[in-house]
């Protein structure tokens, strides 16, 4: 089954509105002729409307970095799904920074996924282990548990249309990376394999799974050549147009398109 690769840039807490518009103008120009790779940018909430308008007629999609699962209410500082509906096609949930800094659980990720799907927004569900868990040989069981908890109650059709990002926590912003072979193995066994166990092989072969964790232009092609890796969730390298566009180009080139 052919899965279109997806490269998404997570800008985290960076860029003013003016900075964001300058960046997306350059990205838009750089990838305008590349249709074999899906390009997505995930800017801060304050810039979403302006970025969405700027990219409306382009081949660059827009995602949010987080969402709350309630429709409305006394949740100061939170953003409901219908507030971003129409502005974004994707939304990152369960990022390790949300889990570690803000204490978000698999149960919360699951609720967010259901809320997003109800509003026609595709979740990008992040999973990944710590360095301690990796060194203790707990990667497979831990990531399996995250997948099982995050997908609880979703239908096979809903899961087939998700994006899942495997981001080993120890490789985020550290300069360290999992080897392409190791990342592919974890994705194949603990993510795609678990989806097959929970649903069926067709669903497992439909869901797109990204690698994240210090992915950059110099190493992206080696990850994209792995059979179970369908793209990347990019952090720091997505904050500069030249490096992000280069990653899109390298991905297209690695896949012969």
* DSSP secondary structure letters along 186-225: HIIIIIIHHHHHHS-HHHHHHSEEEEESS--TTTHHHHHT
Q: Is 1 helix (H, G, I), strand (E, B) or coil?
A: coil
Q: Is 183 helix (H, G, I), strand (E, B) or coil?
A: helix
211-239 per-position pLDDT tens digit = 998 889 999 999 999 999 999 999 999 99
16-58 per-position pLDDT tens digit = 999 999 999 999 999 999 999 999 999 999 999 999 999 999 9
Q: What is the pLDDT of residue 174?
A: 77
Write down the pTM of the prediction.
0.96
Q: Of residues 38, 97, 129, 167, which has the active-site annotation? A: 167
Mean pLDDT, residues 150-164: 98
* DSSP secondary structure letters along 39-61: EEEE--GGGHHHHHHHTTTSSEE
Rounded Cα distance, 188 and 19, in Å: 38
Sorting pLDDT into bands at 50, 70 and 90, what band is 178? confident
Q: What is the pLDDT of residue 256?
A: 82
Tokens representing residue 192 in the block: 């795609």
- Residue 254: is its pLDDT beyond 60? yes
For 61: left if phi > 0, alpha if psi spans -120 to 50, otherwise beta; the answer is: beta
Q: What is the pLDDT of residue 177?
A: 75
96-154 per-position pLDDT tens digit = 999 999 999 999 999 999 999 999 999 999 999 998 898 899 999 999 999 999 999 99
Sorting pLDDT into bands at 50, 70 and 90, what band is 172? confident
Q: How many CB atoms lie within 10 A of CB 257?
A: 11
**Catalytic status, residue 167:** yes
Options 1.10.260.40, 3.20.20.70, 3.90.1170.10, 3.90.700.10; CATH of 6-254: 3.20.20.70
Q: What is the pLDDT of residue 41?
A: 98
Q: What is the pLDDT of residue 129?
A: 94
Sorting pLDDT into bands at 50, 70 and 90, what band is 91? very high
- Alpha carbons within 13 angstroms on the beta-carbon side of residue 71 total 3
**Catalytic status, residue 119:** no
Q: Of residues 95, 129, 249, 250, which has the active-site annotation? A: 95
């Amino acid at each position: 089954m052919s899965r279109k690769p997806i490269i998404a840039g997570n800008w985290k807490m960076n860029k003013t509105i003016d900075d964001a518009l300058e960046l997306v103008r350059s990205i838009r120009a750089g990838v305008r002729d590349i249709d074999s790779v899906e390009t997505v940018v995930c800017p801060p909430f304050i810039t979403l409307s302006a970025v969405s308008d700027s990219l409306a007629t382009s081949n660059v999609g827009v995602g949010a970095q987080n969402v709350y699962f309630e429709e409305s209410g006394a949740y100061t500082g939170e953003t409901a799904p219908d507030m971003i509906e129409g502005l974004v096609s994707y939304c990152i949930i369960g990022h390790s920074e949300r889990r570690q800094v803000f204490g978000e659980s698999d149960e919360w990720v699951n609720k967010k996924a259901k809320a997003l799907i109800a509003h026609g927004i595709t979740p990008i569900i992040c999973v990944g282990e710590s360095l301690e868990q990796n060194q203790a040989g707990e990667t497979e069981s831990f990531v399996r548990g995250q997948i099982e908890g995050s997908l609880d109650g979703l239908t096979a059709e809903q899961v087939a249309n998700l994006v899942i990002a495997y981001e080993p926590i120890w490789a985020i912003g550290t300069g360290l990376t999992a080897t392409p072979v190791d990342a592919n193995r974890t994705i194949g066994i603990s993510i795609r394999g678990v989806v097959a166990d929970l649903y069926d092989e067709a669903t497992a072969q439909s869901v797109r799974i990204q690698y994240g964790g210090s992915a950059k232009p110099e190493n992206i092609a080696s990850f994209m050549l792995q059979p179970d890796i369908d793209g990347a969730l990019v952090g720091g390298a997505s904050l500069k147009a030249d490096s992000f566009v280069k990653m899109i180009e390298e991905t297209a080139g690695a896949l012969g398109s």
